[in-house]
Structure 1
Amino acid sequence: MSKPATGPLAGLRIVEFVGLGPAPFAAMQFADMGADVVRIARPDATPKIPDPISGRGRPTVEADLKNPDQVEMVRKLCDGADALIEGFRPGVMERLGLGPDFLLERNPRLVYGRMTGWGQTGPMAACAGHDINYIAITGALAAIGPAGSPMPPLNLVGDFGGGAMFLVSGMLAALLSAQRTGAGQVVDAAICDGTIQLMTMAHDLASAGQWQPRREANLLDGGAPYYCAYECADGMHIAVGPIEPQFFELFRQAVGLDEATHALRADPRNWPTLKDKIAALIIKRPSTEWLALLEHSDACVSPVLDLHQAAQHPHLVARESFVQMDGLTQPAPAPRFSATPTEARPRPHDIMPLADAIRAWAQERPTSS
């Protein structure tokens, strides 16, 4: 159906129902790792081929899910699949005749991945929402941002961290189980559930009495003067993170802080004073000078880069952490595998006929090389 894959999931077949945000990102992860993924899109979808980056590596087929004949064709595609990804509200797939009970009866090994914000059950399950809502009820949003107001962390914590990545890990676990037992199952991946998991370290600190329920008052939320960003003379910022005493000592000496700084460092009550002292030093010199002095040391200092600058950073260039494809700079697949290397595959530009997708999957499965 597309260029043969060589990743660790080569030969795995997944049906993806086109949606937004975390579901296509999860499908991209599977495609990057070599899975054969087919996207099901509505004929009236705009644009026809969505997600120029997160939609990479897999063909799109159109299906009118209000047409019983085309629904049956989609069922046949699912009959030959190992897994399915959908991100609709609870009950939508059931109303379309594509719910898990029906499809698992036809294909008992199917792993049915469901990506939602609130989950398949609970009083909020049927409600609309977005990343900011899902992370708000988990304690994550309240912990992020300056002291005066919570700050949405893009949609990294909810959609992609608490959502897509937990969907991927859950589906992989279910696929392993299906290999052993022959029985598929439903994976209910709720962004709110995954975000709570991401907050495990904060709960650890709270249980030990080391977490204050306010922003900029804790070790990792910008409260500590040795774990935050500082503005330089050129308007750029540097990220400073020498948490351990030995690393802070390197930083202290390099920027010219006196030895009494250690006493300020040890007591959180002194953190605002120490932060002001460090800020007053860092603002005197441009970021280039600070980075030349500190970036390649154990002082734990890095430049704060935008998306364009990040793609040009020497470390990320050396690791080929970005790839050029379809005229776009894109994140390279991650993680990396020594024996079954992954590859970012181009996004097909043409709509694939549904019948062709079914015929292709009727053939012998490909194997990784």
Structure 2
Amino acid sequence: MGPLEGLKVVEFGGIGPGPHGAMLLADLGAEVTRVERPSGGLSVVPDASRDFLLRGRRSVSADLKSADGRAAVLALISSADVVVEGFRPGVLERLGLGPSDCLAVNPGLVYARMTGWGQDGPLAQRAGHDINYLSVTGVLHAIGKPPLNLVGDFGGGSLYLVLGVLAALWERQRTGRGQVVDAAIVDGVASLAQMIWSMKAQSVWEDSPDSNLLDGGCPFYSIYECADGRSVAVGSLEPQFYALLLAGLGLSADDLPAQMDRDSWLLLRKTFAEAFLTRTRDEWSEVFASTDACVTPVLTLEEAASHPHLVARGVFTADGAAAPAPRFSGD
């Protein structure tokens, strides 16, 4: 059950953002069929039991290079609402399963294409990974180091893929026509960083790492080691939250430079670092637990599963996966 109940999706097997996008659609109630390519014909194959990206759908196998396999997949697509694929541009066209082939049997189909570089442009046929897409958009320079593969593959990739699918489905409601969604990670990452582009345009963002409010350069938006070698995250940006940070640390604003005096940020960082080293992470967590100082423990993946707030909301499932999001009042 879910808001997308009744929506039929065919997913061509792949890795990373394509499967994640299909998982999101399945989490929202869509009926997703994943097409794998191990053998000829069409037969049901089991999902990987511990690959959480593959949850919520059935898998079939089909030899896409054979006439029978192609016909079987086109039969699936003929009654589907959405196709999700993540191959390099031209691969499915050469197999006779490109957008024109699929729209010919299903004019209302939304054909969603997930790539790193997009369907056109000088790099369209080049290999790449999350870190490469971040690097050419300037986002990696701003961040300073690889932020796992969350920002590119999933933030700028699968989430924009799903956004495109839902927008195309809404347009189909009005026109009856399907279309192709070109979801490129480089496009999504650039859009995701719109706030940073805005700050740069307003001359409040310096184009160098570790010198801005949100990139680690700011002492009151940073990570600090504690007495036990573990860490806390500090996000005390607003003046009222900053005042609570100082109070929790036992510091007085009268003895410190002004919060937004960038020339004194190194001094502030040194002061905060020395203070946090006087107690353990969990002791500091207790100090700030009932305040709006925006100070929280940096938890391991194992610890996160038992955090009281996440447990109360059921953020993780019993097998250790993240639960579907967002939530709906009709659930």
Q: TM-score range by the shorter chain?
A: over 0.9
Task: Give 1:266 deviation, angstroms.
Answer: 1.6
Q: How far apart in 1 are the matches of 2:46 and 2:229? A: 42
- Contact kept, 8 Å, 2:46 with 2:58, in 1: the verdict is no
Residue of structure 2 equivalent to 1:345? none
Q: How far apart in 1 are the matches of 2:148 and 2:254? A: 38
Residue of structure 1 equivalent to 2:47? 49
Answer yes or no: is 1:199 the counterpart of 2:197: no
Cα RMSD after superposing both structures: 1.4
Residue of structure 2 equivalent to 1:330? 321
Residue of structure 1 equivalent to 2:31? 36
- Contact kept, 8 Å, 1:225 with 1:275, in 2: the verdict is yes
Q: How far apart in 2 are the matches of 1:15 and 1:188? A: 16
- Contact kept, 8 Å, 1:261 with 1:274, in 2: the verdict is no
- What secondary structure, in the 3-state scheme, does the structure 2 residue paired with 1:94 have? helix
- What secondary structure, in the 3-state scheme, does the structure 2 residue paired with 1:160 have? helix
Q: How far apart in 1 are the matches of 2:200 and 2:282? A: 38
**CA 1:240 to 1:63, structure 2 compared with 1: closer, same or farther past 3 Å?**
same
- Describe how 1:244-255 pairs up with structure 2 within 5 A: 244-255=238-249
Q: Larger RCO: Structure 1 or Structure 2 (Cα < 8 Å, ≥ 6 residues apart)?
A: 1
**CA 1:180 to 1:231, structure 2 compared with 1: closer, same or farther past 3 Å?**
same
Answer yes or no: is 1:98 the counterpart of 2:113: no
Answer yes or no: is 1:138 the counterpart of 2:133: no
Residue of structure 1 equivalent to 2:128? 129
2:218 is matched with which residue: 200, 212, 224? 224
Residue of structure 2 equivalent to 1:358? none
Q: How far apart in 2 are the matches of 1:215 and 1:188? A: 31
- Contact kept, 8 Å, 2:232 with 2:298, in 1: the verdict is yes
2:286 is matched with which residue: 292, 305, 325? 292
Deviations 1:151-182, CA, capped at 9 Å, x for gaps: 11110010000000000001100011112210
Deviations 1:48-81, CA, capped at 9 Å, x for gaps: 7346100001000000011111101100100000
1:11 is matched with which residue: 3, 6, 9? 6
Answer yes or no: is 1:21 the counterpart of 2:16: yes
**CA 1:261 to 1:202, structure 2 compared with 1: closer, same or farther past 3 Å?**
farther
Residue of structure 2 equivalent to 1:267? 261
- Contact kept, 8 Å, 1:264 with 1:274, in 2: the verdict is no
Task: Give 1:296 deviation, angstroms.
Answer: 2.7
Task: Give 1:144 deviation, angstroms.
Answer: 1.2
Task: Give 1:262 deviation, angstroms.
Answer: 5.7
- Describe how 1:28-177 pairs up with structure 2 within 5 A: 28-43=23-38, 49-50=47-48, 52-145=51-144, 151-177=145-171
- Contact kept, 8 Å, 2:112 with 2:183, in 1: the verdict is yes
Q: How far apart in 2 are the matches of 1:257 and 1:170? A: 49
Q: How far apart in 1 are the matches of 2:56 and 2:269? A: 46
Q: Which moved more, 1:199-208 or 1:288-297?
A: 288-297
Partner AA of 2:279 in structure 1: R
Residue of structure 2 equivalent to 1:361? none
Task: Give 1:306 deviation, angstroms.
Answer: 1.4
Q: How far apart in 2 are the matches of 1:44 and 1:318? A: 45
- What secondary structure, in the 3-state scheme, does the structure 2 residue paired with 1:330 have? coil
Q: Normalised by the size of structure 1, how large is the TM-score?
A: 0.86
User: Identity, % of aligned pairs?
Assistant: 52
- Contact kept, 8 Å, 2:256 with 2:268, in 1: the verdict is no
- Contact kept, 8 Å, 1:83 with 1:110, in 2: the verdict is yes
- Contact kept, 8 Å, 1:264 with 1:271, in 2: the verdict is no
Partner AA of 1:205 in structure 2: M
Partner AA of 1:332 in structure 2: A
Q: How far apart in 2 are the matches of 1:211 and 1:137? A: 18
Partner AA of 1:31 in structure 2: A
- What secondary structure, in the 3-state scheme, does the structure 1 residue paired with 2:223 have? strand
Answer yes or no: is 1:211 the counterpart of 2:211: no
Aligned length: 326
In the alignment, structure 1 segments of 5+ residues that lack a partner are: 1-5, 146-150, 342-369
